[in-house]
Copies of this chain bind each other. A is one copy, B any other.
Amino acid sequence: MRIGEFARRAGVTARTVRYYESLGLLEPGERQGAGFRYYTEAELARLQKINDLKELGLSLEEIISVVPLYFEDPTRIRGKQKILEILKQHLQETDGKLAALAQFRIELQAKIDRIQQWLEEQTQREGK
């Protein structure tokens, strides 16, 4: 498929796709005819995974180092020792974020409960 359909199906713009290619996040799509890029379903899956990782708050630079793990045999990737270190660091950061987000959630819930309860008391006090 061409870049417009590729981008649409992934929920991004063609500009984004060319930008990711320039970063090395996406392979240069196979060029045909007058230089048009053509993409495969496999490449679409990769772009969708990139989107997922972005949603997690990873920067594009971080995604560059992480995304190969989803589409290549990890044992065949170059520089495994280094990747192992990067992964462990990611894991540690992820654990920290999980804990912080869970705490944030508890605090949020408590405040929601408090405001909600107060509003209900106000409503009852108004005789409604």
CB <8 Å contact, B97 and A56: yes
Contact string, A91-113, partner B, CB cutoff 8 A, digits 1/0? 10011011011101101110110
- Given A115-B75, A119-B81, verify A100-B55 contact (CB < 8 Å): yes
Residues of A at the B interface (CB closer than 8 Å) are 52-53, 55-57, 69-70, 74-75, 80-81, 83-84, 87-88, 90-91, 94-95, 97-98, 100-102, 104-105, 107-109, 111-112, 114-116, 118-119
Contact check: which of B84, B91, B100, B108 meets A90 at CB < 8 Å?
B108
CB <8 Å contact, A108 and B80: no
How distant is the Cα of A107 from the Cα of B49 in the complex, in angstroms?
Answer: 12
